[in-house]
Amino acid sequence: MIHYLPLGKYSFGMGDRFARQARAQLQACVRAAAQGVEVVPVWNKSNREHVTIGSDPAQSRQAADAAVKALHWNKPYFLDADHIRLDSVDRFLPYSNFFTIDVADWIGQPASADAVKHFLDRHIELCRGVGAAPKSEVEKIAGKYLAAVARAGEIYRHIANNKGPGNFVTEVSMDETDAPQTPAELRVILAALSDQNIPVQTIAPKFSGRFNKGVDYVGDVAQFEKELNEDLAVLAFAISEYGFPPTLKLSIHSGSDKFSIYGAIRRALLHHNAGLHLKTAGTTWLEEITGLAAANGEGLALAKEIYSQALEHIDDLCAPYAAVLDIDRSRLPAVKTVQKWDSGHFVSVLRHDRKNPAYNPSFRQLLHVGYKIAAHMGDRYLNALTQYESSVSANVTENLYERHIKPLFLAGD
């Protein structure tokens, strides 16, 4: 297969909305390295986040480069243009070396009968092996996905023409859709991606269960584990069958903090000796708020103000994220109640500690979508991050390392 820039076995996606935490985030990877495990840092940001904040991919690049320099990180690192399409990719081209091609919207768009027939003739192997399906089923699946994969090919070639094919990592994402993909669907998708000569290294299917923003997984953990193991078997099979990069692995778009499936993920990785890319994003922004609140004084006052404005604008803030939020409005405390909280109580309510009875997932989800409020505060917010930098960065590092990287990549070795 054609050229690609290799991504390591374990990689971890981090979002840094205000481009201030790259160093604290990288510190979590430094701590993993000190334990002998290479976790490749990938800073991801979608165009939607850039638009909401009014930021630019150049800032993410600058922040990442500065962090890498400051911490003497001499291993690979990446900047992920997350969920891009043909109409949003161009602004990322000079700064990103990882592109998540999102073709979920093209799933189910009709493929021509000719294209489907051609595909079936070329891929009789899909009726046997791991994730095999009868020919009639393969035909149905091909009809559902060929147009989306063709679109992925178009976007991939656009990026490759601009950056040179060996200079970036390619991910294909299909997670932002209604129904989870079956192993048979994943196998057909991979066969179609190989026809497009896309050196895909990470693929993001949709799994069953709810992946709400900033809070834990909601669903059947045993079912998730079964799906994950089946998908890993399909991937291993497809690597040898279609000559994909040996680094091809799953990408889990976690929406952050899916702690109750991390044990299942770890078991599956060890069982299959598989790699993984796991994306988080908003968890770091929530640690900024936690760090501000923990610092007390004006930091706590600002955290309270963000909550009170978020509550006031709840409908606007939640609308773009409606599919990935489950906020119980009856559990959202009134502004005047929150005003009376001390630093310790605010942190207990916000921090994702399932053992703490004060922890409130509705409060946390509302603040998750409240980053737009902080963006509107502009320098006031950014200056607070500078003023309370030690409290904020300690929370950012601790969260990524202890609650995410350790259980996913270091446990039980």
Piece of 116-124, 185-193, 250-258, 357-365 that binds Zn ion (CB under 5 A):
250-258
**Nearer CB in complex with Zn ion: 60/290:** 60
The least CB distance from residue 230 to Zn ion, in Å, is: 20
Q: Give the residue among 171, 154, 150, 54 at the shortest CA–CA distance from 107.
A: 150
**Residue 132 CB burial class (10 angstroms; 0-12, 13-18, ≥19):** middle
The least CB distance from residue 209 to Zn ion, in Å, is: 14
**Nearer CB in complex with Zn ion: 13/299:** 13
Piece of 47-55, 191-199, 252-260, 263-271 that binds Zn ion (CB under 5 A):
252-260
Piece of 89-97, 234-242, 253-261, 332-340 that binds Zn ion (CB under 5 A):
253-261
**Nearer CB in complex with Zn ion: 23/253:** 253
For 323-376, give the secondary structure using H, E and C: HHCCCCHHHCCCHHHHHCCCHHHHHHHHCCCCCCCCCCHHHHHHHHHCHHHHHH
State which of positions 166-225 bind Zn ion (CB under 5 A).
Answer: 175
**Nearer CB in complex with Zn ion: 106/363:** 106
Is residue 253 near Zn ion by the rule CB under 5 A? yes
Is residue 305 near Zn ion by the rule CB under 5 A? no
Q: How many residues bind Zn ion (CB under 5 A)?
A: 2
Q: Which residue's Cβ lies closest to Zn ion?
A: 253
The least CB distance from residue 176 to Zn ion, in Å, is: 6
**Nearer CB in complex with Zn ion: 49/185:** 49
**For the CA atoms of the chain, what is the radius of gyration?**
21
**Residue 82 CB burial class (10 angstroms; 0-12, 13-18, ≥19):** buried
**Nearer CB in complex with Zn ion: 82/185:** 82
Is residue 304 near Zn ion by the rule CB under 5 A? no
Q: How many C-beta neighbours within 10 Å does residue 164 have?
A: 11
3-state secondary structure of 280: coil
- Paired tokens of 128: 């046997």
The least CB distance from residue 12 to Zn ion, in Å, is: 15
* Cβ 248 vs Cβ 274: under 8 Å: no
Integer Cα distance of 121 and 84 in angstroms: 32
Is residue 227 near Zn ion by the rule CB under 5 A? no
Q: Give the residue among 392, 1, 397 at the shortest CA–CA distance from 195.
A: 1
Piece of 71-79, 188-196, 246-254, 263-271 that binds Zn ion (CB under 5 A):
246-254
**Nearer CB in complex with Zn ion: 248/281:** 281
State how beta strands 10-14 and 276-279 pair: parallel
Applying CB under 5 A, which residues contact Zn ion? 175, 253
